[in-house]
Amino acid sequence: MITDWPLFNRIIFYPRTTEIKPSFPVDVEGISLGCHMQRPFPDAGVVLYFHGNGELAAECDRFLARMFLDMGINVCFVEYRGYGASGGTPSLAAMLGDGERVVEALGIPHDRIVAFGRSIGSLYAIELARRLPRLGGLILESGIANLLDLSPIKAWGTLGKCISKAAVKLTPFNNQAKMKSFNRPVLILHTEGDYLVPRSHADRLYAWSRSPEKRLVMFPNGDHNSILNANAAEYVESVGGFLRGVGITNELKGSG
């Protein structure tokens, strides 16, 4: 399977370490994942956030946690193997079940959890929705429809051309089938100017979704790495409105 090749994973992942101690470590197959949790609302649900390949859970905790807390929702930033304070080595396929282990560690009903996947993290948020179809909802920011459409893989040149689209459909990354199988609320966020993951990915993910409650928000400003900063007000309104609609925010904090 190509997603198990070390070369393939070196192209996809850019792990870095950190000395910041995780607030919510989770054991997975003998490896400790250095996750970070902010959980001040006992009666609210949790956003389970899967970050991009160049980010760390500790950084997301520092820069994004307040946004979610202001929405009245608890948030857990999942860390990948080999990233931050986590053990192991990042691998696309090997990490597919890690999100489910984090959910088990949270110990709350699945319908009180919204999976949020940014960029490469969309693969794991979508996988979690497939495994746990009663999740409260699914949010995809700059999400990936097909791995082979990413520029780093296309840059393989002749070797990349030898890997057909059918090859990915035979791997655990058939996002078309996964999106069709999830019927809970879905929110897809993307920018028109995303040069790393073009908007066609968002269009496909939206079209594939069979959810009766799905929404696609295309932001006019920013790109892959500035989507939030360039569209802050509309971004926060879109995510906050989605979470309130799912019904898992703190009644007082989430009512604004």
Confidence of residue 5 (pLDDT cuts 50, 70, 90): low
Q: What is the pLDDT of residue 156?
A: 56
Choice between 255 and 53, residue whose per-residue pLDDT is larger: 53
pTM of the entire structure? 0.93
pLDDT exceeds cutoff 60 at 160 = no
Average pLDDT value over all residues in the chain = 91
pLDDT digits (tens, 9 = 90+) for 172-189: 789 999 999 999 999 999
Give Cα 153 to chain centroid, integer Å.
20
Tokens representing 152 are 């780093």
- Residue 164 pLDDT class (50, 70, 90 cuts): very low
Distance CA 193, CA 199 (A): 8
pLDDT at 166: 45
Residue 234, domain extent: 2-255
Residue 254 has pLDDT above 70, yes or no: no
Three-state SS for 150? Answer: coil
Number of separate domains in the chain: 1
Query: Looking at residue 103, which CATH number applies to its domain?
Result: 3.40.50.1820
Rounded-to-integer distance, Cα 204 and Cα 201, Å:
5
Question: How far apart (Å, rounded) are the C-alpha atoms in residues 105 and 26?
Answer: 7
DSSP 23: S
Give the model's pLDDT for residue 59.
98
